[in-house]
Amino acid sequence: MVATKTVLSLHRPLVLSTLLTTKRNSTILLLSTSTAKPTQQLAPNSAAAEAELAHYIKHLDSCIRSKSYAQAKNIHQQILASNANTATHIPDPLLLEKLVVLYSQCNETEHARELFDKIPQPNVFLWNAMIRSYSWNGPFDRAVALFRRMVSRGVAPNKFTFPFVLKACSALLSLEDGVEIHDRARRAGLESDVFVATALIDMYMKCGRLDEPRRVFSTMERRDVVAWNAMIAGFSLHGLYEEVTRFLLAMQRDGIDPNASTVVAVLPVVGQHKALRQGKSIHCFCIRRHIHRDDVLVCTALLDMYAKCELLGYAQRTFDSMRFRNEVTWSAMIGGYVLCDEIAKGLELFEQMVVDGASNMGSTSLACALRACARSGNSGRGRWIHCYSVKFGFLTDTTVGNSLLSMYSRVGSIDDALQFFSEMRTRDTVSYSAVISGCVQNGNATEAFSVFRKMQFTGVEPDVATMVGILPACSHLAALQHGKCSHGSVIVRGFASDVSVCNSLIDMYAKCGRIELAREVFDRMADPDTVSWNTIIAGYGIHGLGTDAVSLFRTMEDSGSSVPDGITFVSLISACSHSGLVAEGKHWFGAMTRKYNVVPRVEHYICMVDLLGRGGLLEEARGLIRNMPLEPDVRVWGALLGACRVHKNIEMGEEASRIIQSAGPEGTGSFVLLSNMYNAAGRFDEAARVRVVQREQGFRKSPGCSWVEIGGVVHAFVGGDGSHPESSSIYEKLENLSVEIRRLGYRADTSFVLHDVDEEEKERALLYHSEKLAIAFGILSLGRDVPILVTKNLRVCGDCHAAIKFITLAEKRAITVRDASRFHHFKDGECNCGDFW
């Protein structure tokens, strides 16, 4: 491009002579006179040059018309290189026009713009070409800016200008610009022009307004397929299945035949609604009209529709029958398998693509395949795709990069995710969000905060998903101050009415011990969805407020707007379980199937076993497992084992643990329980053996850890922790407390100690449990009137539970402990869980 510039200016003097003789466009004169220098080379052959140029232009024009862009560019190069006749280097106005059109059509927008800017007074045609180029390739705001400049220069936009600039508005989702341009079109009397009106419909639809398209559509002087398609595509975009079918029928009644684009516009919403019958009839329509045979778009849309309807056989058959496939075809098919949980087949297809469809490989296909890896936990394949992306240059693509981040976090390799994240060249909001939620999912909420801070520092704007990602980090840490801060941020950014954000806020407040604030957020919601109800019900559950959870469920029923799902009943039954409402829980378990058509899944049996087990009905729990229609997995037996441990039923516990052990490595989470069980039974060798097996199989027991937020800073402790700067005073406080509570009647229950050590040692180990450290620090740091909330990642140990009750007496203050199961509100020597947790 620099070269072009040089050439043009070098030969500028010639322009004058040529133009003076041809007088094609006097404006060029103005351009050139200011910089005109004495010529070193006159143009004796200007007539010949002119002829040659004319020849080139004609050739160029015909190439552009026949869309032979490569050839056209070639001609441009010839003109540039043609030293034989220097006159051909001139910025001839007609040549410039052709070149602007050429490069704008080739989507080399910048190049086109450079040439465009050399034309002092472009005509409408050129403005349109330039605006069109921006509206296709972006930057879209430039199309709008150019439109404005065009208008201010007094050039009247025509019926081609409006569609182009409106397309840019839809890309920008800028309703404001769109409305302004609509106004101009109206004043220009072009509002009901078929092209303009269609573009208006499209723009309004994309910007989320459905009333205006209907109005514009009704005022149109005539409606062609494209206009109908715009309406249908718009409704399809908003998932309005009924409207789509209504317009589809109306269109045919109006004598307009649906075409391939119609079909392509309709099928996504058909798939979305799993309207298989409709989908099949569209398929038939395609066959009748011969519009699907080699149309990649139609076939891909059909394939996708079948996949969304979970008819993978039909999808695959459509896929196989296609003579031509593109990236979308492959991606849709792979994505279909992933959607239907046929992960292995999805990966298989990806492998086939690597062999047979490599030319179609693109970032979307890679993203689909990476999603499959993430879902299957197949980190090997994921890494392979990482390598593939490096090899074939896909790594710079943010979609691929973000998929990799997600894949690594989903398979548990958060370190790899962080490593890759640090190496990424461009990190957008999605990248940050992926890493933040990745950290939280992998249990590292602190890291999530640090990434979040870095994000704000870098100036990448958080969006709704980012906030939904960071709020669980607050929930996890029970970091109320961080949570409130995030809530503030949510309000400032205008996300406060987003349903998912509210759901996360409800969860955050509930888990930070402020159930009343959770309720407030819930009550303010315009229309809570099922997740909202589930979250608030579970919130009451973990606070031991089972009765409130049940009454809330009844309200949900009455409201009728959200239908209870499987998770609702998990939340409800476990709420009953945490409050000892055994009969109530049983009732809802029965009603679940009878009244709500929710098929019990393993999760529900886990809750039931937990409910019965905690209530001491161990036999009944075991009976339930034996009679359950599903295969009980290790988690079910784990729930029984947990109950056996609480109720110290060694025999049944052993039975449960045998079954869990026979399941092999699957029983990861149960290792801890099992080991604790043996420890509680005094069988330290067996307990140790379990831990060895566990280690051999590569499972690390997450260490018991407790934390407390003081002034917005989370202080974490592990058992026997000496790393805290205040350690010496914490231990001193604990020693004093130990004396005090003993005086009040506390006796250590050493059966909770995990190691085979002598009694005195055991007592010391108990004294330094992480929850006690955090509590001691809380007492030291917080004023008497400030409530103490300590969070523990595992269940609070039984000895600590007993000790904390005495501590509330000794210190005359309330203490709240949130463990893996629920909140324990300790006060005046009692706990609201009633020793039932």
Q: How far is CA 598 from CA 537, 567, 691, in A?
A: 17, 10, 38
Residue 429 sits in the site that holds DNA (CB under 7 A): yes
Residue 548 sits in the site that holds DNA (CB under 7 A): no
Give 85 or 229: the residue with its C-beta nearer to DNA: 229
Q: Under rule CB under 7 A, which residues in 457-486 are in contact with DNA?
A: 463-466, 468-469, 471-472, 475
C-beta separation of 14 from 41 below 8 A: yes
Residue 500 sits in the site that holds DNA (CB under 7 A): yes
Half-sphere exposure of 524 (CA within 13 A, CB side): 14
Q: How far is the CB of 754 from DNA (least distance, A)?
A: 22
Three-point CA angle 703, 706, 710, nearest 5°: 150
Q: Under rule CB under 7 A, which residues in 613-642 are in contact with DNA?
A: 635, 639
Q: Under rule CB under 7 A, which residues in 791-820 are in contact with DNA?
A: none
Q: How far apart are CA 121 and CA 447, in angstroms?
A: 57
Q: Residue 139, preceding bond cis, omega within 30 degrees?
A: yes
**What tokens were used for 354?**
């690597």
Length of the chain: 837
Give 542 or 716: the residue with its C-beta nearer to DNA: 542
DSSP 743-789: HTT----GGG--S---HHHHHHHHHT-HHHHHHHHHHHHS-TTSPEE
Which range binds DNA by CB under 7 A, 198-206, 285-293, 530-538, 652-660?
530-538
Contact string 13-32 vs DNA (x = CB under 7 A): --------------------
Half-sphere exposure of 588 (CA within 13 A, CB side): 31
Q: How far is CA 198 from CA 163, 182, 226, 257, in A?
A: 8, 12, 7, 17
Provide the angle, in degrees to the nearest 10, between the axes of the packed helices 634-646 and 618-627.
170
Provide the angle, in degrees to the nearest 10, between the axes of the packed helices 93-105 and 69-81.
140
Q: How far is the CB of 440 from DNA (least distance, A)?
A: 7
Q: Under rule CB under 7 A, which residues in 679-718 are in contact with DNA?
A: none
Give 196 or 414: the residue with its C-beta nearer to DNA: 414
Query: How many positions of this chain bind DNA (CB under 7 A)?
Result: 80
Q: How far apart are CA 731 and CA 777, in angstroms?
A: 9
Contacts of 685 (CB under 8 A, 6+ apart): none
Give 221 or 523: the residue with its C-beta nearer to DNA: 523
Residue 114 sits in the site that holds DNA (CB under 7 A): no
Which range binds DNA by CB under 7 A, 36-44, 97-105, 114-122, 494-502?
494-502
Q: How far is the CB of 398 from DNA (least distance, A)?
A: 4
Contact string 269-288 vs DNA (x = CB under 7 A): --x-----------------
Which range binds DNA by CB under 7 A, 110-118, 127-135, 332-340, 762-770?
332-340
Give 142 or 795: the residue with its C-beta nearer to DNA: 795
Give 52 or 529: the residue with its C-beta nearer to DNA: 529
Q: Which of 297, 628, 718, 757 binds DNA (CB under 7 A)?
A: 297
Q: How far is the CB of 297 from DNA (least distance, A)?
A: 5
Q: Under rule CB under 7 A, which residues in 231-260 are in contact with DNA?
A: 233, 236
Chain centroid to Cα 322, Å, comes to 32
Torsion, Cα 296 297 299 304, to 10 degrees, reads 130
Chain centroid to Cα 282, Å, comes to 32
Q: How far is the CB of 192 from DNA (least distance, A)?
A: 26
Give 265 or 788: the residue with its C-beta nearer to DNA: 265
Q: Under rule CB under 7 A, which residues in 194-233 are in contact with DNA?
A: 233
The one-character DSSP state at 157 is P
Give 401 or 778: the residue with its C-beta nearer to DNA: 401
Q: How far is the CB of 748 from DNA (least distance, A)?
A: 29
Which range binds DNA by CB under 7 A, 72-80, 147-155, 166-174, 325-333?
325-333
For tokens 């840019």, name the residue: 168
Q: How far apart are CA 609 and CA 589, in angstroms?
A: 11
Residue 316 sits in the site that holds DNA (CB under 7 A): no
Give 545 or 775: the residue with its C-beta nearer to DNA: 545
Q: Which of 95, 265, 677, 767 binds DNA (CB under 7 A)?
A: 265
Q: How far apart are CA 622 and CA 65, in angstroms?
A: 80
Q: Which of 109, 170, 300, 657 binds DNA (CB under 7 A)?
A: 300
The one-character DSSP state at 664 is G
Q: Which of 17, 104, 389, 534 binds DNA (CB under 7 A)?
A: 534
Q: How far is the CB of 673 from DNA (least distance, A)?
A: 12
Amino acid in the structure at residue 534: N
Q: Which of 15, 181, 328, 625 binds DNA (CB under 7 A)?
A: 328
DSSP lists the bridge partners of residue 716 as: 707
Residue 438 sits in the site that holds DNA (CB under 7 A): yes
Q: Under rule CB under 7 A, which residues in 756-795 are in contact with DNA?
A: none
Residue 402 sits in the site that holds DNA (CB under 7 A): yes
C-beta separation of 172 from 144 below 8 A: yes
Give 120 or 239: the residue with its C-beta nearer to DNA: 239
Contact string 344-373 vs DNA (x = CB under 7 A): -------------------xxx-xx--x--
Helix ranges, 377-514 (H): 379-391, 398-410, 414-423, 429-441, 445-458, 464-477, 480-492, 499-511
Which range binds DNA by CB under 7 A, 1-9, 83-91, 321-329, 782-790?
321-329
C-beta separation of 466 from 436 below 8 A: yes
Provide the angle, in degrees to the nearest 10, between the axes of the packed helices 566-578 and 602-614.
10
Give me the long-range contacts of 613-616 (CB less than 8 A, separation at least 24). Answer: 613/639, 613/640, 613/642, 613/643, 613/644, 613/646, 613/647, 614/577, 614/580, 614/643, 614/646, 614/836, 614/837, 615/580, 615/582, 616/647
Q: Under rule CB under 7 A, which residues in 160-179 are in contact with DNA?
A: none
Give 576 or 741: the residue with its C-beta nearer to DNA: 576
Q: Which of 158, 489, 530, 750 binds DNA (CB under 7 A)?
A: 530
C-beta separation of 571 from 598 below 8 A: no
Which range binds DNA by CB under 7 A, 7-15, 46-54, 395-403, 805-813?
395-403
Residue 668 sits in the site that holds DNA (CB under 7 A): no
Q: Under rule CB under 7 A, which residues in 550-609 are in contact with DNA?
A: 566-567, 570-571, 574, 578, 602-603, 606-607
Residue 376 sits in the site that holds DNA (CB under 7 A): no
Q: How far is the CB of 410 from DNA (least distance, A)?
A: 7
Residue 403 sits in the site that holds DNA (CB under 7 A): yes
Q: How far is the CB of 464 from DNA (least distance, A)?
A: 4
Q: How far apart are CA 678 and CA 653, in angstroms?
A: 9
